[in-house]
């Protein structure tokens, strides 16, 4: 079973999924059942978001809903309607582990989850609920509720330093971000010749996983082999990423199970937790502490903004004059700017929507690309519109939902006391006590990775 | 005398792609009382739309109520649960006894009889129980569902949500006047050409 699938019984062949697929992986004639080319598919889940062909509870000619729930890895008794395009769930598996007291269960949550999860309980679009989410996760029997936002700050330390190094040496420019696993898979499949342009940094999810099973195990005095590392993600491709063979530098699989925002909601409902009225709780420290820079990773332009906040200060040794870099925000598929960082004029680009990266790659191949740093996110608005996010019932709500989720991300950032990754005290402590320095020996071993060509010859 | 014929929604089969987005939108706007919010996760009841995607080898399009002027469904209803309000034929689900007369009377299959929900829970029948192994058990109440042109919302969710603009609200009198004008224009063009010969 692949991660992204189309249910043959339910597909009506409308091909809306094929229209949103950024890589043309969905094949079939109009009006006929569609299939997915697994090699091409980047597992972004946009087809899951758009599909409106559902299983009617009154259709006796199709496989029973109970059986379908089982086939899809969903929880028994989940009430929501099932659609033709779906992602293979991990929540049923996770539920079994949650009651296993021999496992030390650590969870991390991506920044885009806390601005959308509440929608699954009927709250308004983009409602920001980090405290409720942390509280619900504790009630679900996790031993540590940590945060991907922390690892986003860590990513900035490594990726920012890597950019500075590459710009200084004039090597492998432009440098692309590597946080988005669908983008990485796309580059590996279609353009392996540019893989040396990708940052060697693991994504925040994988950095978090590694740190939990090394430093995290040390500070909690836990045998890392007993740790179950779980990630809650807005993204369907994060499961693909955590299953990559090379991602095990802690000595174990860095992240064991990934569930989506929607699956976390199933679990909260299944356990009878009253999400709307639950009291706020804090994330556990130190690996749940984060800055505003870490939180904006969930929106297109966020990684760039976070990197610039830190990069500017590391290079110039001066405080950045204006922390809100609004010129990198927005929704267009390609945004570009030139930023003065000390003596350096840094040419940057932000790409959202995978189709928009192709002309950029072509310009690199022609030797005509003068950008230094490029952020790429596969989904249209970044992770807030990811394939694992709450799915909308009515098409006209799409734009407003994405807009509200983004606004919430930036509000969260501006209301946090610490808004730069390098000022996160837990990050400073991690380097002091464990990693020593960005791009150092230990960082290199634990936090960086390499890529493989997946091109079919 | 009121000569304002009832409007109704029709689909253009050449545009319909069969995605069922109309069914989902219809369900969503009619189930706010069942705590259905904006996302799929808020749905805890069966999906009950009031229009029905028809898919045959030759045609794909949703079919829904024509809001008939002398509505046979209303005429057949023995308890007066179907009435005309603001040029729309509407079912009062509190009054409906699930007799299915309306299903038999409707020539378009635009009415369905399915379980009724309130506050996300199935409504049980007031006075009828079913014999089972565990003694007498409550039975879920069924009720008639049909298109009410989104009478409580002012705009038709199916039309608004269709990604291919395959649905439109037909206003019969406007339709007639438009066709009259087109006929007049066509005739004028023909006559003009005739004179030139």
- Each residue of B68-114: pLDDT tens digit? 999 999 999 999 999 999 999 999 999 999 999 999 999 999 999 99
Rounded to an integer, what distance in angstroms lies between the CA atom of residue A186 and that of residue A453?
A: 10
Beta bridge partner(s), residue A448: A201
Q: Report pLDDT for B2.
A: 60
User: Do A234 and A44 contact (CB within 8 A), yes or no?
Assistant: no
Q: Report pLDDT for B1.
A: 53
Q: Report pLDDT for B196.
A: 57
Rounded to an integer, what distance in angstroms lies between the CA atom of residue A163 and that of residue A373?
A: 7
Question: Could you tell me the residue ranges of all domains in chain B?
Answer: 8-114+145-196
Q: Report pLDDT for A401.
A: 98
Q: What is the pLDDT of residues A147-162, one digit of tens each?
A: 999 999 999 999 999 9
Q: Report pLDDT for A7.
A: 97
Question: Which of helix, strand or coil describes residue A260?
Answer: strand
In three-state form (DSSP H/G/I as H, E/B as E, the rest C), the secondary structure along B148-162 is CCCCCCCCCHHHHHC
Give the residue ranges of chain A where pLDDT is below 50.
Answer: none
Q: Under an 8 A CB cutoff, do A79 and B39 touch?
A: no
DSSP H or E run through B129: strand B124-132
DSSP H or E run through A376: strand A373-377
The domain made up of B8-114+145-196 has a fold known as Alpha-Beta Plaits (3.30.70)
* Residues on chain B touching A123 (C-beta within 8 angstroms): 37
Strands A344-352 and A373-377, sheet pairing: parallel
Q: How far is CA B111 from CA A422, B20, B51, B66, B156, in A?
A: 63, 17, 8, 11, 17
Calculate Rg over the CA atoms of chain B. 21
Rounded to an integer, what distance in angstroms lies between the CA atom of residue A206 and that of residue A154?
A: 11
Record the tokens describing residue B142, joined without a space.
Answer: 């069924």
Of the partner residues B17, B24, B39, the one whose CB lies closest to the CB of residue A14 = B17
Closest CA of chain A from B108, distance in Å: 19
Q: Under an 8 A CB cutoff, do A393 and B20 touch?
A: no
Q: Report pLDDT for B73.
A: 97
Return the active site residues of A: 159, 162, 179, 199, 238, 241, 246, 383
B71 CB near a chain A CB, below 8 Å?
A: no
DSSP H or E run through B22: helix B21-29
Q: How far is CA B48 from CA A238, A314, B17, in A?
A: 34, 58, 20
Q: Report pLDDT for A456.
A: 83
Give the residue ranges of chain B where pLDDT is below 70.
Answer: 1-3, 193, 195-197
Of the partner residues B38, B42, B43, the one whose CB lies closest to the CB of residue A397 = B38
Closest CA of chain B from A265, distance in Å: 8
Q: Report pLDDT for A19.
A: 96
Rounded to an integer, what distance in angstroms lies between the CA atom of residue A78 and that of residue A70?
A: 10
Q: How far is CA B81 from CA B34, B61, B91, B95, B96, in A?
A: 21, 29, 6, 5, 5
The per-residue b/e assignment along B58-76, b for 16 or more CB within 10 angstroms, e otherwise, is eebbbbbbbbbeebebbeb
Rounded to an integer, what distance in angstroms lies between the CA atom of residue B9 and that of residue B161?
A: 13
Q: For the purposes of burial, counting CB atoms within 10 Å of the CB of B170, is it exposed (0-12), middle (13-18) or buried (19 or more)?
A: middle
Q: For the purposes of burial, counting CB atoms within 10 Å of the CB of B173, is it exposed (0-12), middle (13-18) or buried (19 or more)?
A: exposed
**CA end-to-end span of chain A:** 25
Q: For the purposes of burial, counting CB atoms within 10 Å of the CB of A434, is it exposed (0-12), middle (13-18) or buried (19 or more)?
A: middle
Q: For the purposes of burial, counting CB atoms within 10 Å of the CB of A44, is it exposed (0-12), middle (13-18) or buried (19 or more)?
A: buried
Number of Cβ atoms within 10 Å of the Cβ of A120: 25
Q: Report pLDDT for B189.
A: 85
* Residues on chain B touching A52 (C-beta within 8 angstroms): 19-21, 23-24
Closest CA of chain B from A288, distance in Å: 27
Q: How far is CA B165 from CA A70, B84, B110, in A?
A: 36, 28, 21
* Residues on chain B touching A390 (C-beta within 8 angstroms): 39-41
Strands B8-11 and A373-377, sheet pairing: unpaired
């Amino acid at each position: 079973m692949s991660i992204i699938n189309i249910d043959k019984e339910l597909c009506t062949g409308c091909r809306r999924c094929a229209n949103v697929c950024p890589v043309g992986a969905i094949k079939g004639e109009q009006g006929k059942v569609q299939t997915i080319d697994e090699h091409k598919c980047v597992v972004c889940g946009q087809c899951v978001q758009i599909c409106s062909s559902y299983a009617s509870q009154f259709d006796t000619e199709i496989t029973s809903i109970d059986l379908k729930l089982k086939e899809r890895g969903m929880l028994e008794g989940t009430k929501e309607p099932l659609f033709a395009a779906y992602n293979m769930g991990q929540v049923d598996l996770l539920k079994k582990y949650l009651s296993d007291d021999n496992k030390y269960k650590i969870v991390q949550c991506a920044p885009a989850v806390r601005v959308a999860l509440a929608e699954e309980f009927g709250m308004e679009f983009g409602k920001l609920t980090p405290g409720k989410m942390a509280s619900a996760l504790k009630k679900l029997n996790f031993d540590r509720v940590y945060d991907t936002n922390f690892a986003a700050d860590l990513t900035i330390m490594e990726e920012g330093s890597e950019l500075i190094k590459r710009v200084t040496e004039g090597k492998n420019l432009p440098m692309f971000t590597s946080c988005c696993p669908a983008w990485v898979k796309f580059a590996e499949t279609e353009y392996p010749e540019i893989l040396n342009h990708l940052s060697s940094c693991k994504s925040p999810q994988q950095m978090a996983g590694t740190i939990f099973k090394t430093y995290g195990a040390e500070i909690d005095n836990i045998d890392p082999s007993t740790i179950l590392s779980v990630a809650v993600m807005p993204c369907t491709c994060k499961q693909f990423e955590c299953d990559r063979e090379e991602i095990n530098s802690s000595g174990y699989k860095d992240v064991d199970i990934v569930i989506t925002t929607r699956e976390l909601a199933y679990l909260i409902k299944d356990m009878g937790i009253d999400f709307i009225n639950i009291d706020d709780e804090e994330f556990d420290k130190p690996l749940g502490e984060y800055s505003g820079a870490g939180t904006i990773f969930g929106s297109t332009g966020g990684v760039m903004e976070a990197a610039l906040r830190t990069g500017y200060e590391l290079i110039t040794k001066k405080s950045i004059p204006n922390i809100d870099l609004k010129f990198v925000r927005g929704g267009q598929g390609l945004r570009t700017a030139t930023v003065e960082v000390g003596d350096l004029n840094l040419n940057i680009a932000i790409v959202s929507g995978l189709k928009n990266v192709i002309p950029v790659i072509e310009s690199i191949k022609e030797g005509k690309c003068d950008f230094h740093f490029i952020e790429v996110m596969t989904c249209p608005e970044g992770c807030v519109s990811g394939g694992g996010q709450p799915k909308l019932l009515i098409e006209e709500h799409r734009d407003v939902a994405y807009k509200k989720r983004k606004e919430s991300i930036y509000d969260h950032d501006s209301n946090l006391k610490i808004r730069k990754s390098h000022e996160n005290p837990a990050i400073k402590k991690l380097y002091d006590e464990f990693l020593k320095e960005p791009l150092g020996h230990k960082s290199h071993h634990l936090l960086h990775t390499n890529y493989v060509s997946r091109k079919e010859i | 005398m009121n000569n304002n014929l009832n409007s109704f929604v029709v689909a253009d089969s050449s545009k319909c792609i069969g995605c069922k987005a109309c069914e989902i939108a219809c369900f969503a706007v009619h189930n706010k009382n069942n705590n259905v919010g904006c996302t799929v996760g808020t749905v805890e009841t069966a999906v009950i739309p009031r229009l029905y995607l028809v898919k045959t080898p030759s045609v794909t399009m949703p079919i829904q109520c024509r809001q008939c002027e002398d509505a046979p469904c209303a005429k057949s209803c023995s308890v007066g649960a179907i009435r005309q309000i603001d040029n729309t034929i509407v079912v009062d689900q509190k009054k409906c006894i699930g007799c299915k007369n309306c299903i038999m009377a409707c020539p378009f299959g635009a009415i369905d009889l399915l379980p009724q929900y309130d506050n996300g829970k199935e409504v049980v029948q007031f006075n009828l129980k079913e014999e089972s192994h565990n003694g007498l058990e409550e039975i879920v109440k069924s009720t008639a569902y049909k298109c009410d042109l989104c009478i409580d919302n002012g705009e038709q969710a199916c039309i608004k949500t269709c990604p291919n603009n395959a649905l439109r609200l037909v206003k019969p009198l406007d339709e007639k006047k438009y066709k009259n004008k087109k006929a007049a224009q066509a005739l004028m063009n023909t006559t003009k050409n005739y004179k030139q010969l």
